[in-house]
Amino acid sequence: MDFQHIVGHEDIIRHFKASIEMNRVSHAYIICGEADSGRRSLALSFAKTLQCEEGKIDPCNKCRSCVQADSGNHPDIIFVDHEKPQLVSVEDIRNNVVNTIDIKPYSSKYKIYIIEDGEMMNIPAQNALLKSIEEPPQYAIIIILTTTLDRLLPTIISRCITLSTKPVKERDIYDYLVDNFKIDDNKANFCVEYAQGNLGKAIKLATNEDYDRLVKSVINLETNIYKMDAESIAAVITDCEKSFKISMSEYLDLMMVWYRDILMLKVTGKIDKIMFKDQILTIREQSKYLSFNELEEKARAVDRAKIRIAANAKLEDIMKLLIMTLKEI
Ligand SMILES: [Zn+2]
């Protein structure tokens, strides 16, 4: 893993390289962006480059430090874990950062902490971390990965350099998928449209073992929504978790592709940009009886459901409410 192998994110990479070149590396960074958007690769590449014994703006990939970084066993690149699934607690931060930061690096120039799921840090955890960010030892660098800045204290944000990921170009994602996974044009386009600039998401879908059945499930839901009952909604949720291995939120993103297809057909009248190509009859039919307003309402309902999923509401309840709303529209 290094900068050269990262697709997109040119601005962030340029920032990292310039800071190394000018010897102005900060003690604290926030990398903000969607899950799977490449934040971890960016943080790891930056850390690996900083620790490389050659000390250049790209890692040499040969020295002991580079080898350790690649194997995931670098003693001075520390990924901060958390014990509870949706919470980074004050104990996590104390045990993994605060209590160890004063111990000098084991073998490298820096001691680099990468805190994943930064948005899951509660207030006490952030307050504990604040001290380490305010008065870090010379060698320490803290990189916080987060999906949103909203859950971070202003005092944390003000002391960090914040870098936000931007969507990767569709063409770059397409090329990456076709080059690496030998998938056909249709599937690559579908994954690109679904991922909306998020390479990790595109890869996850492209390599999903149950891809065909997953797409069929979305088609089935969108075609038969009027007769969906509690039982079939529960079946969709079980399928997502058990066979498709995707989150409900990702499933909702697939539903959005369907609505964008209808919108595309309504606006352009052309079928070449349609993703659910073999469903053109249904898409055309729905595009006739759904108005622009109704399509927008559907998209909004899906967005609301995603927000409720992120807030940890009960999946069954969220999906029941969503299906009910979609039926009414
Ligand atoms: Zn090296």
The residue among 124, 119, 69 whose CA lies nearest residue 92 is 124
* Predicted pLDDT at 312: 82
Give the separation between CA 149 and CA 132, rounded to whole angstroms.
19
- Helix 248-268 to helix 211-223 angle (10° resolution) is 60
- 72 C-alpha vs ligand 1 centroid, how far in Å? 14
Task: Output the average pLDDT for the chain.
Answer: 95
Sign of CA dihedral 206, 82, 32, 248: positive
- What the block records as the tokens of 185 is 């044009």
- 244 C-alpha vs ligand 1 centroid, how far in Å? 39
* Predicted pLDDT at 44: 97
SS3 call for 93:
helix
Residue 113 has pLDDT above 90, yes or no: yes
4-8, 61-65, 144-148, 311-315: the lowest-pLDDT one: 311-315
Give the separation between CA 282 and CA 265, rounded to whole angstroms.
12
- 38 C-alpha vs ligand 1 centroid, how far in Å? 22
- 171 C-alpha vs ligand 1 centroid, how far in Å? 31
Residue 93 has pLDDT above 90, yes or no: yes
- The model's pLDDT over 188-241, given as tens digits with 9 standing for 90+, comes to 999 999 999 999 999 999 999 999 999 999 999 999 998 899 899 999 999 998
In the chain, pLDDT over 70 holds for what percent of residues?
Answer: 100
Give the separation between CA 29 and CA 43, rounded to whole angstroms.
9
Residue 313 has pLDDT above 90, yes or no: no
- 137 C-alpha vs ligand 1 centroid, how far in Å? 23
N- to C-terminal Cα separation, the chain: 47
* Predicted pLDDT at 202: 96
- 4 C-alpha vs ligand 1 centroid, how far in Å? 14
* Predicted pLDDT at 85: 86
User: What are φ and ψ of residue 74, in 5° steps?
Assistant: -80, 120
- 59 C-alpha vs ligand 1 centroid, how far in Å? 5
* Predicted pLDDT at 329: 85
- 49 C-alpha vs ligand 1 centroid, how far in Å? 7
Give the separation between CA 47 and CA 80, rounded to whole angstroms.
14
- 53 C-alpha vs ligand 1 centroid, how far in Å? 5
Query: Could you tell me the pTM of the whole model?
Result: 0.90
Residue 299 has pLDDT above 90, yes or no: yes
Q: Are 241 and 309 in contact (CB under 8 A)?
A: no
- 58 C-alpha vs ligand 1 centroid, how far in Å? 8
pLDDT bin (cut points 50, 70, 90) of residue 13 is very high
- 54 C-alpha vs ligand 1 centroid, how far in Å? 6
Q: Are 111 and 102 in contact (CB under 8 A)?
A: no
The residue among 147, 50, 131 whose CA lies nearest residue 97 is 131
The residues near 91 (Cβ < 8 Å, ≥ 6 apart) are: 83
- 62 C-alpha vs ligand 1 centroid, how far in Å? 5
Averaged pLDDT, 258-271: 94
Give the separation between CA 264 and CA 212, rounded to whole angstroms.
23
- 190 C-alpha vs ligand 1 centroid, how far in Å? 38
Residue 119 has pLDDT above 90, yes or no: yes
Averaged pLDDT, 289-308: 94
Residue 34 has pLDDT above 90, yes or no: yes
Give the separation between CA 156 and CA 124, rounded to whole angstroms.
12
pLDDT bin (cut points 50, 70, 90) of residue 19 is very high
* Predicted pLDDT at 24: 95
The burial of 162, by beta-carbon neighbours within 10 Å (0-12 exposed, 13-18 middle, 19 or more buried), is given as middle
pLDDT bin (cut points 50, 70, 90) of residue 30 is very high
- The model's pLDDT over 150-198, given as tens digits with 9 standing for 90+, comes to 999 999 999 999 999 999 999 999 999 999 999 999 999 999 999 999 9
* Predicted pLDDT at 28: 97
The residues near 224 (Cβ < 8 Å, ≥ 6 apart) are: none
Which pairing describes strands 161-164 and 77-80: parallel, antiparallel, or unpaired? unpaired
- 35 C-alpha vs ligand 1 centroid, how far in Å? 28
- 48 C-alpha vs ligand 1 centroid, how far in Å? 8
Residue with tokens 């967005």: 303
- 12 C-alpha vs ligand 1 centroid, how far in Å? 21
- 110 C-alpha vs ligand 1 centroid, how far in Å? 14
The residue among 144, 134, 74 whose CA lies nearest residue 110 is 74
Residue 88 has pLDDT above 90, yes or no: yes
* Predicted pLDDT at 10: 96
- 19 C-alpha vs ligand 1 centroid, how far in Å? 18
Averaged pLDDT, 64-88: 95
* Predicted pLDDT at 50: 97
- 78 C-alpha vs ligand 1 centroid, how far in Å? 17
- 66 C-alpha vs ligand 1 centroid, how far in Å? 4
